[in-house]
Amino acid sequence: MPKKRGPLLALLCAEIVSVSGSLITRVALPWFVLATTGSVARMSMVLAVQMLSMAVWGIPGGVLAARLGTRAFMRLADGARALLVALVPLLHWLDRLTFPVLLALVFLIGGFFTPYYASQRVLLPELVGDDERLLTRANTLLMAANRVTLLIGAPIGGVLVAAFGAQRVLWIDAGSFWLSFLLISLFVRTGRAVPSTTGGEELLAGIRFLWQDRVLRLWTVANIAFEMAWQCVFAAIPILAFSRYHDDPRVVGGLLAVFGVGAVLGNVLVIPLMKAVRPIRLMTLGAVAESLVLWTAVIDVHLVTFGVVLCLGGVFMGFIEGPTAALQTRRTPPGLRPQSMSAFMTLTLVAGALGLTMTGPAFQAFDARIPFAVVATLYSSGAALLMLSAARLAAEPAADEPALSDSRTKDPA
């Protein structure tokens, strides 16, 4: 473990840098569409196309990451996204950025996300090993690094958009990918290609494995509900800021930062709680608590109340993410990890894209409390499925329970 701290630190720094830049874009791009077109539906379409791209390219990208090696794929993804993001302000400056061209660029940029996410998770066992608690801690740290960016990129994005305009700040996102590329290139030396265990059926191997595993099958469906619900909430942030909260892009950055505060706190709390509470119990506790939090938005959607919902939602999301990634990693054979994780992300992102597509029209057609009631119902359904999967996991013989065995027990795989 000590020898791997340098590469792990570089991986965490690369995550903070690149995601901070992406969050500036997360503020700038929807605001740019809203300001130039005045169309909530078009804004939802841009976000949905990006997420749909994450889903479409997720499974093929996972196969490519396995063949190239995770480090090589991450460097490829960072370099390509730096160029693609830079094209948005460049084409706008040249007066060549039509809405279809913007959608095409967003589609290409989003295609790298899912296999990049999977590559990070596959890389972690090479850095820290397969020990349950070390792997859960490493995944939690990676998620904490991701959430810290909400405290950096989102507020900075809101201020910069207000000061300089949405299109100009996109250069920062392009630069962040270049810096991430350099960090991975210079300091991360692991990330070998993964020998395939699936013969010529690599594209469907990840989905097949998730379906055949009685715990991960429920887990995947639960996360589909979670992703759809939270993408609706995130899409609601610029909509409400534009229509209800003073028409101010700084409100978007502030609300994302409030969510980030909660998410970082949740990830920080998970590490000491793991000493006393099993990861699966933390996950079910977080899912149930988050369901209750989301129902609050049905009652009241004032700015302060919505901020509290986002903050507490971030806290309890932190209880779920790290343990989920660690359990899924340890439950999956090494030769299937890139495909399995990419398939998992692909399925959840398809649901997220569907949620984003419906969010804009729903907020245009109904009072805000109605879409939030649908969100809360979706999330509550996912929490029920997660509790059922936990019961199935607890019923398995101890020898067949790699994710929840004592950290001193050898992995049966």
Beta carbons within 10 angstroms of residue 319's beta carbon: 26
pLDDT in tens, 112-166: 877 787 777 777 777 776 666 677 777 777 777 766 666 666 677 777 777 777 7
Q: Which of 353, 279, 336, 329 is nearest to 66 (CA)?
A: 336
Q: Does the pLDDT of residue 258 top 90, yes or no?
A: no
Ranges 108-112, 128-132, 167-171: which has the least confidence: 128-132
Measured over the CA atoms of residue 153, residue 155, residue 158 and residue 162, the dihedral's sign is negative
pLDDT band at 192 (very low <50, low <70, confident <90, very high): low
382 inside domain:
yes
- Which residue carries 């991360």 as its tokens? 188
265 inside domain:
yes
Comparing 384 with 395, which gets the higher pLDDT? 384
197 inside domain:
no
198 inside domain:
no
Q: Name, in order, each residue with C-beta under 8 angstroms of 275's C-beta and a sequence gap of 6 or more.
A: none
DSSP 213: S
Ranges 38-47, 193-202, 269-278, 375-384: which has the least confidence: 193-202
CA 250 vs. chain centroid, Å, equals 22
408 inside domain:
no
Range of the domain at 298: 2-188+203-400
Q: Which of 41, 27, 34, 44 is nearest to 355 (CA)?
A: 44
Token pair for 181: 């590329």
Residue 207, domain CATH: 1.20.1250.20
- Tell me the backbone φ, ψ of residue 76, rounded to 5 degrees: -60, -45
pLDDT band at 291 (very low <50, low <70, confident <90, very high): very high
227 inside domain:
yes
pLDDT band at 2 (very low <50, low <70, confident <90, very high): very low
pLDDT band at 412 (very low <50, low <70, confident <90, very high): very low
- How much is the pLDDT for 219? 86
Average model confidence (pLDDT) for the chain?
A: 78
Contact between residue 293 and residue 312 where contact means Cβ atoms under 8 Å apart: yes
Report the C-alpha gap between 250 and 159 in whole angstroms.
Answer: 6
Q: Does the pLDDT of residue 382 top 80, yes or no?
A: yes
Contact between residue 89 and residue 171 where contact means Cβ atoms under 8 Å apart: yes
Report the C-alpha gap between 372 and 299 in whole angstroms.
Answer: 9
pLDDT band at 398 (very low <50, low <70, confident <90, very high): low
Using CA atoms, how far residue 211 sits from 39, 208, 216, in Å, is 39, 5, 7
Report the C-alpha gap between 396 and 411 in whole angstroms.
Answer: 15
- Into how many domains does the chain fold? 1
- How much is the pLDDT for 203? 57
147 inside domain:
yes
Comparing 379 with 22, which gets the higher pLDDT? 379
Token pair for 59: 């499974």
Q: Which of 18, 29, 9 is nearest to 252 (CA)?
A: 29
- How much is the pLDDT for 153? 66
410 inside domain:
no
pLDDT band at 290 (very low <50, low <70, confident <90, very high): very high
